[in-house]
Amino acid sequence: MSTLQRSASISSSSTIVSTQPSSVPTGVSSVSTIPSTTHMLETPQTSLIAHEKPPPELDETKTELVQTSLVSANKTQSPTLDGLKTVQWPTTSLSEALKALLNQNIPVMEYGSQILYRWGCEELLFVAEWAVPGALLKLASRVLTESGFPWAPAPMDDHPTLSGWEDLCEHHIRVTSGEHYIRLYDISTLGLTLNKTFEVRSTFDPNLRLLTPQPPRDSFSVALPANTQYYGEEDYAEVEREFLEKVPSAVEYIKSWDWGDVPDKEYWDIAEAVVRDARVLYTVTRVAG
């Protein structure tokens, strides 16, 4: 191996290691969104203390030192996966909260259900999960409070499967019923960095742009359209016509398979019937049972 090849190999290896959060054990993928076990709470006493923690205090000097460099980290990459045509929240309160953060030059990364919705999963966006750089977390929390989303302790009656996640973020709730609820994370807690994000249109306000994590390269093959399609009677009729046109070629295709030594030729008839009408499967199952 040449010196140049060896250097490239070492550089590539170090890059892979550096993208893995320090709290993740060896052998665990760095793209996992499960929080580090070092942050998980083990006793009811420590959980109670965490739920009663006071609002974060702002460190003005540290904020001023890091803000400019953090904001400029994402302007070199063109946005992709930006085909959203529908949004779920008509209310302006969350838009105002996000706009207030952006006006303070705070880079905001979407997380949780917003990412799943962007990739085409059927998600109801009840909670806005945002992540910001750790040095700007206190500033972001103060901005949200001043924008009508006051800091609140973590809910005690949240879903048990969330485990320690509730204690890894700051909670901001506009009304006591939780209709407008923001979870604010330190981006490093999620094992991510600003260098691994790019800018996209917000899932709930087309006029605002924020950051989203870069997906793994192998995830692009499973991307789905992010907008929900609705079909009318004419659309279904057209689909049915296309299906009937393709049936003959599909039947010929299954007949070309190597069926081997099939003693009962009725299998062919059953296979053809299933291709022509999938509902036949229910009848075949009942007879076989």
In tens, the pLDDT along 190-229 reads 888 898 888 888 877 778 899 998 876 656 555 555 454 5
What CA–CA distance (Å, rounded) separates 96 from 98?
Answer: 6
Mean per-residue pLDDT, 221-240? 62
Q: Pick 241 or 27 by higher pLDDT.
A: 241
> Could you report the per-residue pLDDT of 151-188, keeping only the tens digit for each?
877 766 655 555 566 777 888 877 655 557 888 999 99
* Eight-state DSSP code of residue 57: P
CB 221 within 8 A of CB 188: no
Looking at the chain, the whole-number percentage of residues with pLDDT higher than 70 is: 52
Angstrom distance (rounded) from CA 128 to CA 126:
7
Global pTM value: 0.47
Q: Which residues pair with 185 in a beta bridge?
A: 131, 169
